[in-house]
């Protein structure tokens, strides 16, 4: 596994001129390398380092800081389930457990790390907030967002993910346009407004 | 997609013929066919603010206009934008602009929708800033998870280059050159902190820098140059300020921090989502009038007014105005931890059925995993919080654990860390302990309320 010539050209001709320092081209270069191979191996650190005048250990230390750079081979598809409060309140733990169960993985023993199915088709891990809390619980598959995936939806989701895609969709509240419209008859349903602020 | 009429003059009618109280400013592209592309942006009056800044005004009067509008940064710190621009301009060039699109505070998601809907709105705001402050290089740093947003921005930048809004001699004015590029992060919450973000942009581990020097100064900014770091929403306000005037902007909502605001609300509400409303809208209105009230008609137990890094507000405090000024002043101030905080307006609403111990255990886990590891209080302390709270949440808490927890929060919070994110990591834990102590005590005395505690229900977080 090593960088293609096309990737090298792109790093040299596009990424390096974009910034005043060669080093700053590191983030886009690592992304490009990961897109090619699916993960970042030691050779990539050497090769990217050579192009950017950095030592391979330096490149590796940067890559290791960011959770989205994979320094081990992962499954063909990476499924990540948000577990932060907004998704948690909407049942993301159950979604995560069901996805693991359907793929033959043990949700309890994965901890916060990544688990990969024995056939190498899927990797699964919990993740932090994906910034789509109105579609909670949110699932990210290969950097695309899907939601809401409730526990009862997991089978349908695994069978046809695209049906759950929220890419490019407006917020739940803006389905009819950008106007914040008061809910019809909200005064009758809402509890009385509290007195003065404490 | 349905076409939304753009009523510039006539107010849009709705329901029983009542005029709507608030006409959106920032999200007008939503629901329009091709709203995110240049032709539609021009139809909506796009790039008029830039035209004004380049052709009709001199740079200093642009900065004065933004200062007069009283626009405060929307990212959380609430620093006056015009003052930041003016301060950067006083320092020698070359200078840089960095757009912080690394929105990753749990519960905050306005930027993602703003970029998806209207990338040119952001680009125009950036260009105005560059023209005013004398900047030729601008960078957008967008979180790695938001690949779609990065693609939308790349496309919009290409369109704007082709139309002559970005590049050399902008709008035909000789010597006004601006280049804009997009850099993707790779999953680190700490990149939302401006100096950590700049470290990441420079190709390093994203660890915050020691200040001073501040980003606006030589030696403190990106590549050592004076740098303006602005939030997406802040910059999107700027073209509207130039077109409609500082007085118009200053008249919207809360007088101390005016303007339109993208509130994002999630958790136990019936209609979660992004609501564009004037700054200073009350929490009660947001929850009941707009977000459709609480799921299963529960009462509000608590609210995180600005996502996880803010202190919890009790459910009895719904009359509070949601804006930077109100939530950073007494009585919303709890020593030694400081203000409740407004953050970027990401509201998480917890209903009565919420097990608050489980929520803050999760918050502690988040901050422990996302601590960058540079300064000791945050690196060590967040893991202590995670361990103690994990123990409590799994039903193995001991009565003395609450004392340990308080001690740890006091040793992280209260300006003991290098960056604000470390400081704020204790906010939800400390405020939950203050507001809901009996629930923690019940856990520690073997009366956990949640079915999750020790019952074999899988919990995703990695507590041992």
Residues of chain B with pLDDT under 70: 1-21, 448-464
Q: Pairing between strand A77-82 and A122-127?
A: parallel
Q: Is the pLDDT of residue A196 over 60?
A: no
Beta carbons within 8 Å of B83's beta carbon, 6+ residues apart: B67
Superfamily name and number for A77-170: Glutaredoxin (3.40.30.10)
Residue bearing tokens 């977080």 = B461
**Residue B257: per-residue pLDDT:** 94
User: Measured between CA atoms, how close is B56 to chain A, in angstroms?
Assistant: 31
Statement: the pTM of the whole predicted model exceeds 0.90: yes
Report the CATH architecture of B356-444.
Up-down Bundle (1.20)
Q: Where are the domains of chain B?
A: 18-250, 260-351, 356-444
Contact A180 B24 (CB under 8 A): yes
Beta carbons within 8 Å of A100's beta carbon, 6+ residues apart: A106, A107, A110, A115, A124, B458
Tokens representing B107?
């519960």
A108-153 residue pLDDT tens: 876 788 999 999 999 999 999 999 999 999 999 999 999 999 999 9
User: Measured between CA atoms, how close is B39 to chain A, in angstroms?
Assistant: 18
Torsion of CA A122, A123, A126, A130, to 10 degrees: -70
Q: A with B: how many residue pairs have Cβ under 8 Å apart? A: 269
**Residue B20: per-residue pLDDT:** 54
Q: Where are the domains of chain A?
A: 5-65, 77-170
- Domain range A5-65, its CATH number among 1.20.1250.20, 3.40.50.720, 1.10.10.1590, 3.40.640.10: 1.10.10.1590
Instruction: Please give the Cα distance from A72 to A57 (Å, whole number).
Output: 16
**Residue A110: per-residue pLDDT:** 67
Q: Is the pLDDT of residue A103 over 70?
A: yes
**Residue B405: per-residue pLDDT:** 96
**Residue B450: per-residue pLDDT:** 56
Residue bearing tokens 């600005």 = B306
User: Measured between CA atoms, how close is A119 to chain B, in angstroms?
Assistant: 23
- Which among B458, B461, B462 is the top mutation candidate for probing chain A, defined by the most A β-carbons within 10 Å of its own β-carbon? B458
Instruction: Write the ipTM.
Output: 0.96
**Residue B455: per-residue pLDDT:** 37
pLDDT (average), residues A75-94: 96
Report the interhelical angle of B119-133 vs B110-117 (nearest 10°): 90
Contact A133 B266 (CB under 8 A): yes
Residue bearing tokens 């290098």 = B418
Tokens representing B320?
């509070």
Contact residues on chain A for B24, CB-CB shorter than 8 A: 178-180
User: What dotted CATH number matches B260-351?
Assistant: 3.10.20.600
Instruction: Please give the Cα distance from B273 to A78 (Å, whole number).
Output: 26
Beta carbons within 8 Å of B409's beta carbon, 6+ residues apart: B337, B381, B385, B426, B429, B430, B433
Are the CB atoms for B439 and B208 separated by under 8 Å? Answer: no
Taking CA atoms, what residue in A is nearest to B152?
A168
DSSP H or E segment with residue B101: strand B96-101
By C-alpha distance, which of B459, B421, B432, B423 is closest to B104?
B421
- For domain B18-250, give the fold: Rossmann fold (3.40.50)
**Residue A2: per-residue pLDDT:** 86
B223-232 residue pLDDT tens: 999 999 999 9
Q: Which residues pair with B260 in a beta bridge?
A: B278
Contact A131 B145 (CB under 8 A): yes
Residue A12 exposed, middle or buried by CB count within 10 Å (0-12, 13-18, 19+):
middle
Tokens representing A145?
């967002």
Q: A194 pLDDT band (50/70/90 cuts)?
A: confident
**Residue B255: per-residue pLDDT:** 94
Residue bearing tokens 């050592």 = B224
- Which among B145, B231, B265 is the top mutation candidate for probing chain A, defined by the most A β-carbons within 10 Å of its own β-carbon? B145
Residue bearing tokens 């073997």 = B446
Integer angstrom CA distances of residue B448 from B390, B392, B395, B454: 13, 9, 6, 9
């Amino acid at each position: 596994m090593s960088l293609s010539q096309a990737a090298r050209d792109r790093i040299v001709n596009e990424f390096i001129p974009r910034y005043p320092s060669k080093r700053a081209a590191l983030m886009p270069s690592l992304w490009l390398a990961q897109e090619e191979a699916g993960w970042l191996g030691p050779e990539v650190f050497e090769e990217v380092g050579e192009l950017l005048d950095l030592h391979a250990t330096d490149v590796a230390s940067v890559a290791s800081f960011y959770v989205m750079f994979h320094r081990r081979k992962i499954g063909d598809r990476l499924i990540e389930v948000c577990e932060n409060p907004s998704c948690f309140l909407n049942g993301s733990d159950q979604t995560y457990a069901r996805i693991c169960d359907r793929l033959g993985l043990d949700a309890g023993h994965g901890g916060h790390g990544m688990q990969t199915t024995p056939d190498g088709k899927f990797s699964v891990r919990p993740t932090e907030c994906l910034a789509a809390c109105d579609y909670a619980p949110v699932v990210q598959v290969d950097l695309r967002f899907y939601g809401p995936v409730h526990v009862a939806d997991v089978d349908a989701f695994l069978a046809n993910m695209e049906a759950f895609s929220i890419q490019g969709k407006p917020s739940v509240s803006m389905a009819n346009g950008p106007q914040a419209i008061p809910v019809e008859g909200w005064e009758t349903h809402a509890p009385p407004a509290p007195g003065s602020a404490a | 997609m349905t076409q939304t009429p753009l009523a510039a003059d006539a107010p849009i009618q709705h329901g029983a013929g009542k005029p709507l109280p608030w006409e959106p400013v920032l999200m007008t592209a939503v629901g329009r066919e091709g709203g995110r592309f240049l032709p539609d942006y021009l139809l909506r009056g796009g790039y008029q603010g830039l035209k004004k800044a380049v052709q009709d005004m001199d740079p200093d009067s642009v900065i004065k206009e933004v200062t007069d509008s009283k626009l405060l940064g929307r990212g959380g710190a609430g620093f006056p934008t015009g003052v930041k621009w003016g301060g950067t301009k006083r320092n020698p060039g070359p200078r840089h602009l960095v757009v912080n699109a690394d929105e990753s505070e749990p519960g905050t998601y306005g930027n993602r929708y703003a970029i998806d809907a209207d990338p040119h709105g952001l680009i125009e705001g950036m260009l105005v800033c560059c023209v005013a402050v004398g900047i030729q290089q601008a960078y957008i740093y967008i979180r790695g998870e938001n690949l779609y947003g990065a693609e939308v921005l790349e496309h919009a930048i290409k369109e704007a280059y082709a139309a002559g809004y970005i590049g050399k001699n902008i709008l035909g004015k000789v010597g006004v050159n601006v280049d804009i590029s997009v850099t993707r992060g790779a999953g680190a919450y700490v990149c939302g902190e401006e100096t950590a973000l700049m470290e990441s942009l420079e190709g390093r581990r994203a660890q915050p820098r020691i200040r001073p020097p501040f980003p606006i100064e030589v030696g403190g900014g990106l590549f050592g140059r004076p740098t303006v770091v602005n939030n997406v929403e802040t910059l999107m306000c700027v073209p509207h300020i130039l077109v409609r005037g500082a007085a118009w902007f200053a008249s919207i909502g809360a007088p101390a921090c005016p303007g339109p605001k993208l509130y994002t609300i999630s958790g136990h509400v019936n209609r979660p989502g992004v609501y564009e409303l004037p700054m200073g809208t009350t929490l009660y209105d947001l929850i009941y009038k707009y977000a459709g009230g609480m799921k299963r008609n529960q009462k509000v137990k608590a609210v995180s007014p600005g996502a996880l890094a803010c202190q919890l507000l009790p459910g009895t405090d719904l009359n509070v105005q949601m804006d930077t000024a109100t939530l950073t002043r007494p009585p919303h101030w709890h020593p030694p931890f400081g203000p409740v905080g407004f953050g970027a307006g990401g509201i998480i609403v917890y209903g009565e059925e919420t097990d608050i111990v489980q929520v803050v255990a999760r918050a502690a886990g988040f901050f422990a995993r996302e601590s960058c590891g540079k300064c000791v209080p945050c690196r060590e302390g967040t893991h202590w919080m995670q361990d103690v709270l994990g123990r409590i949440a799994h039903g193995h808490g001991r009565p003395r654990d609450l004392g340990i927890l308080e001690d740890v929060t006091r040793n992280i919070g209260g300006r003991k860390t290098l960056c604000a994110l470390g400081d704020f990591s204790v906010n939800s834990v400390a405020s939950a302990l203050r507001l809901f102590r009996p629930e923690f005590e019940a856990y520690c005395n073997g009366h956990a309320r949640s079915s999750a505690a020790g019952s074999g229900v899988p919990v995703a977080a990695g507590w041992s």
